[in-house]
Structure 1
Amino acid sequence: MAKIIIFGIQDFAELAKYYLDTDSEHEVVAFSVNEQFLPEEKSFHGLPIIAFENIEEQYPTTEFKFFAPMSPQRMNRLREEVYFKIKAKGYELISYISSKATLFDNIIGDNCFILENNTIQPFTSIGNNVILWSGNHIGHHSTIKDHIMFTSHVVLSGHCTVENYCTLGVNATIRDGLTIGEGTFIAMAASVIKDTEPWGMYKGNPAVKSEKSTKDL
């Protein structure tokens, strides 16, 4: 059991507190945001909101841990920045894995938020700072790298690699053996049958690449 500080005070943070309170051994003790975003009322769900810049003065790294399940703004690069700032202060980040998810001794990194009804098949690994919203199927012998978000009901077939910074939309389907290039955005209900190019946007069935680059997001 660890005492947890959650980064953020929006929907993802509120959901994280609920899941940790009801389906983990951890105790949420505070929230934290950058000082410029501190609300006038420095309390959220009855817990203090502390400025991140000097949080270690009140919550030492030896006694508290962090959890930062943020939304995938700027193709997960904002989440990456916060993740490394927390690590730079010396905090350990926990992962939350729902008791209703199905796993098979998978390797899973830190600061992952894995919700109910995800199936992660054998011989598949999950990197750091990954969000798997509810109901995804992650096929066998696959590699999910870092700073990635799967929304809901994505089907990733076996022997796939998902590179850093990708976001996969609701009901997207990925054929077996593919590499999803760094920074790829796959739209809702897209059916991907070929490797994707880095920082590309893909939609449709079969999925085709948009002229827009996700580097601009």
Structure 2
Amino acid sequence: MNGGQSDRPLVIFGVGELAQLAYYYFTHDSSRRVAAFTVDRTHFRENQCMGLPVLAFDEVDTRYAPEEYDMFVALGYTRLNQVRAEKCLEAKSRGYRLATYVSSRSVTWPDLTIGENCFIMEGNVIQPFVRIGNNVIIWCGSLVSHHVEIDDNCFIAAHAVISGHVKIGAHSFIGINATLRDKITLGERTLLGAGALVTASTDENTAYLAASSQEAGVPSYRLQSLL
């Protein structure tokens, strides 16, 4: 497995929930030491997060030099991951190497190819012959089957099922409990809503939304005998 594995200390970009989770996972399930957080100056509100200093991004390299520290960009899927992708490029332009985290509580195999600034949470099963690009987040409990290719800047929410030989185009979002049949290709910037079932390849810039459950029209206490 590759993808920015290192023991160098870390600066996390962001102070939101994902940044706090990244701090916790890196601290408790990696050899990394998180040294600080950083945000754009326009979003600077507090000078500490999780008990560590927060610096404006335009000055972070004066205290945490890229020759000594790596960075992880902990932003979500806004604009189909475009915001996170842009910040990764900015961090690299400042000389930072981007860290990748793969949970020790996920199942992976030695041939896994994975890029930089990836975040693979616990409970995922990633089978052999999988390639994961740069800046990919896979939330907990998903199945990534054999010979799957996930391009750069994607976000896969919890409990997705991605069958064998699927290719996921860049900047795609796969919602909670979405299911992809085998041997299909998702075009770039495909959005799959929660519970979506996709059985054929998709074009670029398409969205698939599963129907929401409807209220049964019967009071819940009348159905309690079924529980």
Q: TM class, shorter-chain normalised?
A: over 0.9
Partner SS for 1:80: helix
Name whichever structure is richer in strand by fraction: 1
What is the deviation of 1:55? 1.3
**How do residues 167-182 of structure 1 correspond to structure 2 at under 5 angstroms?**
167-182=173-188
Per the alignment, residue 25 of structure 1 pairs with 31
Matched, 1:97 2:114: no
Question: Does the aligned pair in 2 maintain the 1:69–1:112 contact within 8 Å?
Answer: no
Aligned residue for 1:82, secondary structure, equals: helix
- The CA distance in 2 between the partners of 1:141 and 1:97, in whole Å, is 19
Amino acid at match of 2:41: E
Matched, 1:191 2:197: yes
> Corresponding residue for 1:141?
147
Match of 2:10 in 1: 4
Match among 63, 69, 75 for residue 68 of structure 2: 63
Long gaps (5+) in structure 2:
1-6, 212-227
Moved over 3 A (4+): none
Tell me which residue corresponds to 1:214.
none
Runs of 5+ in structure 1 lacking a partner?
A: 206-217
Q: How many residues are matched?
A: 204
Partner SS, residue 83 of structure 1: helix
- The CA RMSD over aligned residues, in Å, is 0.9
Give the TM-score normalised by structure 2: 0.88
- Work out which of the residue numbers 107, 115, 121 in structure 1 matches 2:113: 107
Q: Which whole-Å CA distance do the structure 2 matches of 1:166 and 1:49 have between them?
A: 30
Structure-2 residue corresponding to 1:86 = 91
2:135 to 118, 124, 129: 129
1:117 aligns with 2:135: no
Residue number in structure 1 paired with 2:224: none
Deviation at 1:180?
0.7
Name the larger-Rg structure: 2
- Which letter does structure 1 place at the counterpart of 2:204? P
- Provide the C-alpha distance between the structure 2 equivalents of 1:80 and 1:99, rounded to a whole number of angstroms: 25
Partners of 1:67 and 1:25 in 2: CA distance: 14
Pair 1:150-2:156 in alignment: yes
Give the TM-score normalised by the residue count of structure 1.
0.92
Aligned-pair CA distance for 1:104: 1.2
User: Where do 1:34-49 residues align within 5 Å?
Assistant: 34-39=40-45, 41-49=46-54
Output the amino acid matched with 1:181.
Answer: G
- CA deviation vs aligned residue, 1:87-133 (integer Å, no higher than 9, x gap): 11110011010000111120010100000011111111100000000
Within the candidate set 141, 156, 167, 1:161 is matched to 167
Post-superposition offset of 1:70: 1.2
Residue 4 of structure 2 corresponds to which residue in structure 1?
none
